[in-house]
Structure 1
């Protein structure tokens, strides 16, 4: 077949349909002979299809990426503040603000570079070498030189170098968790399957980037480079644009509204002052500059960065590593968490939970690999020695086994197949071990497990030298070789229908099944062979095994539900297993699970509806996970997505918060994520959500503290202009107030501990503005109180004949005193602070006030400051008046909180 015909064949049978074809059909389509391709054919195809590597994405240059970081409303606000301070000659403030702008831009530049590393991590999964058969000779080549039609040999430990259609298999098991999420290595065969079979059920395929953990095989290359499943994920990932976090979107809207308000207010004030009041334009310009300086929240970007950074530190101490700073707060606004199952919600330690024998079903206590737990019936612990079938089944599971169970540093670990490890743990719980006492029945011979015959058999001799053959395998396979069963009353004829019902019942509970049987005989020819495992066996038990949920995950899911957060499980595992684990975790209990195949049949509108109704999704591919995240986001949800495989990377990048596993996660998943769990534990996510809510609370408290401060100063200036009063605050004094409060008082709120009821609230609505109607009221009320205290005191002192410098000094100190008191009010938006905990519960607030007092004393009484700012000394009586002006704000704000709590408005406002 010529290359044109080959290309046509590949078009007719696209990469996701190779699993429907037999090995011979694939050979014919790709013109692969029994000895592989010729070197000439391989060179021709390499020129046509290109190298077997993922093309690097188009990226912006470093300079463009750096300049793009300045396109941010927060940086515009800071640059505007810097311009104003420069016009006033306040060069120190100008330098600090511009430095903050540059630092923020550099941080964004570094974060963007880290995000792009996700694509590089996927490329790093590609195998560098491949064992290829060409012209009948095996040789190792660079994997980039593989072409469609090449015949590739696989062995244990190899990374699959391209997508292969397997044509010969010997005991092949492949670790596909990175692509499918399947918790155990997948047994491979050469059988064709249906076109709609999920990726994890395509036993005749081996995919690029997966790992061979056992056995050998040969396969024909059917896809290379970007045409592989790994390449498709790479293309999906490179096509996803990260969304702005809810906080950034809110701050952006808030900044735009505030910028328009300040500009409009300044323009209106300038026009009124020049045209109505007749002030000189130059004089009015300086007044407007003072007004703008008082209104611009210079401290907001700094406090936001500090608050988020403190949240990062707190989360790191709880095993949550934040890679993208705004993700700290985004966690607090999450409404849906989509979690992987294996190792995150579960322990990733297979555990025997049920043993069905003839006439009895036993429950096994304990979880994980620690051999702690009882065996019982209906809650009653039993002695295994009194149940012959149970005792012999446990012995069979321990002896017909190649795994190892050992304890290292106080932790029990399994070496080998996790399912076999579960049988060893069961033996330990029952007092059976392979190497001690009566259990030490030496192995004479073995038939290892192979996917073709679906069982393992071992030949042993007991303590009396009598021969035994034990087998374990799939229920339907073992039933075929059994003629009898062992029960409580001895050996009887096999009741195959009863065993099939028992198997169906256990499988419906999401358990993986293994059947154990034995034969008291020696191999016919001395050596154990397949002919010895054909008939005449006695069925002992069907064992139900599952990867149990983490105990802390059960509690964490309950915490999330109480906090109004929906938890959804999206896994590559089978539907029944997913439903069973979900029921134990209270995720989707009593509701059906949705499979990836069903998701694929839905349009976007239907998926958007179903995505909120269903909580368990099984056999999900990368496309399914990505579509589910997008459907939830289209419904207005803020989505956190967990994952560990390269198949999870697109959904992790698309989610509002991508959460990767630190212990078993691939580098591609970690680089695509915003947060990495150092302990792979779902409970850590719930803890991080709590911290995220605390961060948002503190940002909100700071804004409620900052805006009245700026508003009070602005109202003082506006009132002076409108009523043709002497300006109570000069531009330099306004900047002094802002500098002091931003660098000392406001910063203290970043250290505010989380409130007790923080996880009892509903998530805030994603579209909720930063300033709600209530917040506008609180800002207006406190602004008027601060303006009244400062302006009232200023006019009173002028009326008493006090000099202009002393009156202004009192006005400045009145504003700062009001802010000190209001800082204590701001520790809680609704709860009272007129108590010991409220006044002393945040040491940072007390330290901030303590630091601010000497600064104000220096502002008032030192000659240098008096010369710079036009301040004057104050008497003790004048300081008392300043104190009373500040106390007024504290008292009225606490009375307002009391009224809100009594009326029930506080609860309604807090609930959004």
Structure 2
């Protein structure tokens, strides 16, 4: 025993910056590990090494939560009115719409606990620990602070460890830090302010050992690990309402107040001005309310978004939450991870420097298609051949062609890059035999092999960090043979490549007759040259970023990689201009308050060496400036920021399950260019949604106007409440949905993002809706009056009024196809076949309403003669032309809304 257990022995602050003995003292342990009794005591105090499950919201509460919306309240209010009226069929129809809306939302939307479950799934299931002086394999959940754990290649690290021993240890931390290559580890303490990616003395829970062996003392388990902190960030990041959610809520509240206010005015006028019987007045007021409430609007929004989901899926953007479909259209800033999102996540040699010349390498990723050419266009000679021989022979990686033709890497990314460039240059392993090897070690930073050719010649081949090989080299290979090593030349070359954001490796060789190789043999080497390696940008992402900039959307790179690499990639992609560009590192960000960061974020487009906390702070700072932020990512380190962002976008192929569950949208092809297409699609969907709303509202406006005029002037109601419901239903089910299929308007990506907030339609559009309502409502009153004047019975006159409303809306549908330009064009007749199918459906339903006896009995309608249709048809043509004049006036005075 090491003494009585205290809280202090369960935690240690910044273990990465402390000496090993200091960490052991803080945790009350030694390198000999814990006894079984000590471990049991610590397990009882610290709890299991698992991430706690979140508090689950019961399914029934989640389902009822989809009714908590102002527009749904209006829908339920309409149903209650129908129940009061005793119209149980209509009540059932309206309630069915509300329930279907809730079911779609319940099924479509992902839950936050799934994201947390995805993170929990990253944890190791077993661990090798030192207990009672012997190694044992235990369940990872039983690992406790102070345990000594050993790591082998392929192991998943079971908890956060302060490394005490490390031999050639490299750990893949890409899911945690975003770095594209494994991180080399050692036991030396690092700076107190080192970011997660720079804590080389630590191994973190959930990461994977790529190579080497190690031991370490557990410094954090469960929620106290780095991955546990990410889970806490995901749970506490919170999510924001989308712009559409806010707009619909605002619109619904305003509409509710208007309807209630108008109903009160009608009651007062009817009672005190015309002395109407109270029962008749209540019936008329209910009719007005039914007419004014757009009960089809929530269903229209849901169905339009659902159609958008299907259309976006065909473009490789899988939408998990319905409101995210249109929210993409209002995005002002895209914060993107670098590795695997903007880049291919496939290390590639871009440049080669030998004592003879500098060479450029074409081709991307692990596909060996490409060429090596000198600056003057000359083909490479023996200098490059010698360098490539080292790249392919002093190498443990392989590239394999899959059945589908794609090339994949077996091994480490950096070695894969050297193997691929060797193939491009024609280097071969044929006839070569490896006789010995000095494995890569993070302390030495090089690897060496002893290789024998078919003729029996032997040579030591070395690759590694340039500074380590330069200090062991005596000569360099020139065109004429060996010559003295030019240190100044190579120092300048290394600085040049590093300044371009390239990862630099060097090669050297030495003839020998020995039967094996050891570190002591690696002296008096012949220096061959340098490779400049980079994770290349996706070509299509470069074009996509340019399109985003043209559309008024800022793109910001937030990566765990080094500042120089991030800046080089961002310049190559056109994300930032040439010249002086500010790169904000995680360390610098730590020194800023949130208010200071809010001031800085508009100026900075590249963030390097960031942690999950930094990403959330950046997103929040942008949102505090009223930016609508889309955040992309693939690693678990991105999950908290994806949850916090207005739109979280995960990579579907290389993304972790935690990231996918935290996101609203998953890209099936991991392609940043798909984000551009999705934003374009989101703008189109929002345009069509606005068109649908602007189209639907005059139906309610015209109906309520007809009833309002009848009440104010004390005339017979032209429409009964059930007839009002009929018109609302057939226009919402047929005509309104047609606009959801409209193609994108011209120049949709040449305009700035729409502003967040406000109502779904602005005041100018509301004025437009009111004028159209007057036109359709006035035409309906005119048709009703003309029918009565011609001696038709009341039921026939009302049937003609309903026909006028239906045909008037059909004419107005063609006006709404192009809100920003004239519809008097042949284009209005093509481009959207659904318009014609919807028009046919409307006419068929209206024929049933007019001529089928069952409908006549249900809605109190009557068959009309052929000539009775001519007046509504003539008025519909007049309405179409009048609206076109109104649109032209709006365009002329500069009030044409963005469509």
Provide, for residues 104-158 of structure 1, a one-character-per-residue CA deviation record: whole Å limited to 9, x for no partner.
3344445666321111221222212110012220011121221211111111111
For structure 1, the residue ranges without an aligned partner over 5 or more in a row are: none
Query: Any conservation in 2 of the 1:588–1:614 contact (CA below 8 Å)?
Result: no
What per-residue deviation string (whole Å, max 9, x for no partner) do you get for residues 834-875 of structure 1?
A: 222212321111111111112222222333333333333333
Cα separation, 2, equivalents of 1:309 and 1:62: 22
Structure-1 separation of matches of 2:852 and 2:24: 93
Q: State the Cα distance separating 1:770 from its structure 2 match.
A: 1.3
Counterpart residue number, 1:376? 373
| Corresponding residue for residue 556 of structure 2 | 568
- Given the alignment of the two structures, is residue 78 of structure 1 paired with residue 75 of structure 2, yes or no? yes
Residue 401 of structure 1 aligns with which residue? 395
Report which stretch shifted further, 355-364 or 327-336.
Answer: 355-364
- Once the 2 structures are TM-superposed, how far is the Cα of residue 279 of structure 1 from its aligned partner? 0.9
The 1:858/1:104 distance shift into structure 2, 3 A limit, reads closer
Name the structure 2 match of 1:519.
510
Alpha-carbon separation, structure 1, partners of 2:65 and 2:729: 29
Shift of 1:457: 0.7
Partners of 1:50 and 1:804 in 2: how far apart?
79
Q: 1:693-751, CA deviations, whole angstroms, 9 ceiling, x for partnerless residues?
A: 11111110111001111101111111111122221112121111111111111121122
Query: How well do the aligned residues superpose, as a CA RMSD in angstroms?
Result: 1.8
Shift in Å, 1:10? 6.0
| Corresponding residue pairs, total | 896
| Aligned counterparts of 1:769 and 1:861: Cα–Cα separation in 2 | 41
**Pair 1:791-2:787 in alignment:** no
Listed as ranges, the gaps of 5+ residues in structure 2 are: none
The match for 1:538 is 526
Whether the 8 Å CA contact 1:35–1:137 is kept in 2: the answer is no
Match for 2:479 among 465, 468, 488?
488
State whether residues 424 and 433 of structure 1, in contact with CA within 8 Å, keep that contact through their aligned partners in structure 2.
no
Paired residue secondary structure (1:182): coil
1:537-596 Cα distance to aligned partner (Å, 9 max, x none): 111111100011111111111111111111111111111111111111111334121111
CA positional deviation for 1:781: 1.4
Take 1:559 and 1:299, find their aligned partners in 2: how far apart are those partners?
Answer: 36
Q: Secondary structure at the match of 2:151?
A: strand
Measured in 1, the distance between the counterparts of 2:78 and 2:728 equals 11
Find the counterpart in structure 2 of residue 285 from structure 1.
282
Is 824-833 or 335-344 further displaced after alignment?
Answer: 824-833
Aligned to 2:246: 249
Are 1:506 and 2:500 counterparts?
no
- For the Cα contact (< 8 Å) 2:630–2:649, is it kept in 1? yes
User: Is 1:668 aligned with 2:665?
Assistant: no
Q: Which residue of 1 aligns with 2:291?
A: 294
The Cα shift of 1:903 comes to 4.5
CA displacement 1:765-811 (0-9 Å, x = unmatched): 01242121221121011111101211122223333433322222222
> Shift of the alpha carbon at 1:212?
1.1
Residues 393-450 of structure 1 deviation map (CA, whole Å, 9 limit, x = unaligned): 1222111111112222211222111111111211222122223xxxx43322211111
Q: Alpha carbons of 1:879 and 1:109: their partners in 2 closer, same or farther (altered >3 Å)?
A: closer
Alignment partners' CA distance in 2, 1:322 and 1:34: 50
Deviation at 1:184, TM superposition (A): 1.1
Structure 1 distance, partners of 2:102, 2:850, is: 38
Say whether 1:7 aligns with 2:2.
no
Distance 1:645 1:451, change over 3 A: same
The 5 Å alignment of 1:115-130 reads: 115-130=112-127
Q: Does the 8 Å contact 1:375/1:382 carry over to 2?
A: no
Q: CA deviation at 1:58?
A: 2.8
**How far 1:5 sits from its partner (Å)?**
7.5
The aligned runs of 1:160-179 (5 Å cut-off) are: 160-179=157-176
Aligned to 2:757: 767
Q: Which residue of 1 aligns with 2:428?
A: 433
Aligned mates of 1:105, 1:2 — CA distance in 2: 59
In structure 2, relative to structure 1, the CA distance for the partners of 1:860 and 1:63 (3 Å cut) is closer
Q: Alignment partner of 2:310: what SS? A: helix
Give 1:94's aligned residue.
91
* Counterpart in the other structure of 1:529: 518
Matches within 5 A, 1:70-469: 70-110=67-107, 114-378=111-375, 380-385=376-381, 388-409=382-403, 410-435=405-430, 440-469=431-460
Decide which moves more: 790-799 or 401-410: 790-799
Which one of 830, 836, 856 corresponds to residue 846 of structure 1? 836
**Residue aligning to 1:805:** 795
Give the whole-Å Cα distance in 1 for the aligned partners of 2:428 and 2:670. 31
Partner of 1:743: 733
Q: What is the CA-CA distance between 1:291 and the residue it aligns to? A: 0.8
In the TM superposition, residue 604 of structure 1 has moved relative to its aligned partner by 0.9
Does the 8 Å CA contact 2:684/2:744 hold for their aligned counterparts?
Answer: yes
Tell me the CA shift for residue 6 of structure 1. 5.2
Distance 1:350 1:873 in 2: 75
**Counterpart secondary structure, 1:871:** coil
In the alignment, the residues of structure 2 paired with residue 803 and residue 219 of structure 1 have an alpha-carbon distance, to the nearest angstrom, of: 94
Aligned counterparts, 1:630-669, within 5 A: 630-669=620-659
Distance 1:33 1:633 in 2: 48
**Cα deviation, residue 233, structure 1:** 1.2
CA deviation vs aligned residue, 1:299-341 (integer Å, no higher than 9, x gap): 1111111111111111111211111111111111111111111
SS, match of residue 658 in structure 1: strand
Deviates more, 1:20-29 or 1:245-254: 20-29
Partner of residue 547, structure 1: 535
Per the alignment, residue 862 of structure 1 pairs with 852
Contact 2:503 2:532 in 1 (8 A): yes
Matched-pair contact (CA < 8 Å) for 1:3–1:45: no
Q: Aligned partners of 1:235, 1:110: CA distance in 2, in Å?
A: 26
CA distance in structure 1 between the partners assigned to 2:44 and 2:116 by the alignment: 25
- 1:635 Cα deviation after fit: 0.8
For 1:58 and 1:870, the matched residues in 2 are separated by 54
Asked if residue 27 in structure 1 is aligned to residue 17 in structure 2, the reply is no
SS in 1 for 2:428: coil
Q: Alignment partner of 1:239: what SS?
A: helix
Cα distance in 2 for partners of 1:760, 1:103 equals 37
Q: Secondary structure at the match of 2:749?
A: helix
Q: What is residue 35 of structure 2 aligned with on the other side? A: 38
